[in-house]
Chains A and B, each alone.
Chain A
Amino acid sequence: AQSVAQPEDQVNVAEGNPLTVKCTYSVSGNPYLFWYVQYPNRGLQFLLKYITGDNLVKGSYGFEAEFNKSQTSFHLKKPSALVSDSALYFCAVRDLKGLTGGGNKLTFGTGTQLKVEL
């Protein structure tokens, strides 16, 4: 079964510094990987996805993620953090089991709270 691990419950970083939010995955086939962000009292917002191709994926709000097949990782990165980036970040993998009709059931990690301080 597919699974996602986010080893850090919280990441603290100073504004202007680079940030990394870690994600590792386990899948039986090709991984389709996603990052979402959740702000308080709001739904999850899509940031970026890796399906195939370049290992460095660029997404919304200056975020990017690096896919590493040998390490089964998909870490989220941003060169210069902003206070407004403070939120809960979820890594997800498409679950290839079941799901007829071509749907895209996602298996999520437990989330990483990012706190960016002045």
Chain B
Amino acid sequence: DTGVSQDPRHKITKRGQNVTFRCDPISEHNRLYWYRQTLGQGPEFLTYFQNEAQLEKSRLLSDRFSAERPKGSFSTLEIQRTEQGDSAMYLCASSRPGLATNEQFFGPGTRLTVL
């Protein structure tokens, strides 16, 4: 059983640049979530996909952020015109179809540093 994978694990960028992160969920999981975690805080929900449909977006997801899951498998999270406040760990999680209370399985995260 391969877990959730994320790429890259680390990204350093300059302010104003665009960055894109990839998440590959566990293969049979149809639900995919993105969270952001800053130092000293718990993860905060960003967005949620069921298959290829993006069903929920947090108000934390400004218009500089966009997420896609075109074929219902992997997902990408893009941040345009990065700002220093975007520096955080971006976590992806997936869960099985069925009960809404199924636990989420998290990837190792992508740590973004905006200089």
Contacts and interface: CB of A to CB of B under 8 A. Distances in A.
A108 B100 CA distance: 17
B31 A104 contact: yes
B55 A43 contact: no
B106 A43 contact: yes
B102 A104 contact: yes
Contacts of A111: 40-42
Contact of B50 (A32, A103, A107): A103
Interface of B: 3-4, 31, 33, 35, 40-45, 48, 50, 53, 55-56, 91, 93, 95, 100-109
A80 interface: no
B100 A98 contact: no
Nearest to B89: A43
Interface residues of A, number: 30
Interface of A: 4, 32, 34, 36, 41-46, 49, 51, 90, 92, 94-95, 98-111
A51 B53 CA distance: 26
A90 B42 contact: yes
A21 to B, nearest CB: 13
Contacts of B43: 44, 90, 106, 108
Nearest to A45: B106
A94 B48 CA distance: 13
Given A43-B4, A43-B108, 14 more contacts: A42-B108, A49-B103, A92-B42, A99-B48, A100-B55, A101-B48, A101-B53, A101-B55, A102-B100, A104-B31, A104-B101, A106-B35, A110-B42, A111-B42
Contacts of B44: 108
Contact of A44 (B40, B56, B91, B101): B91
A107 B106 contact: no
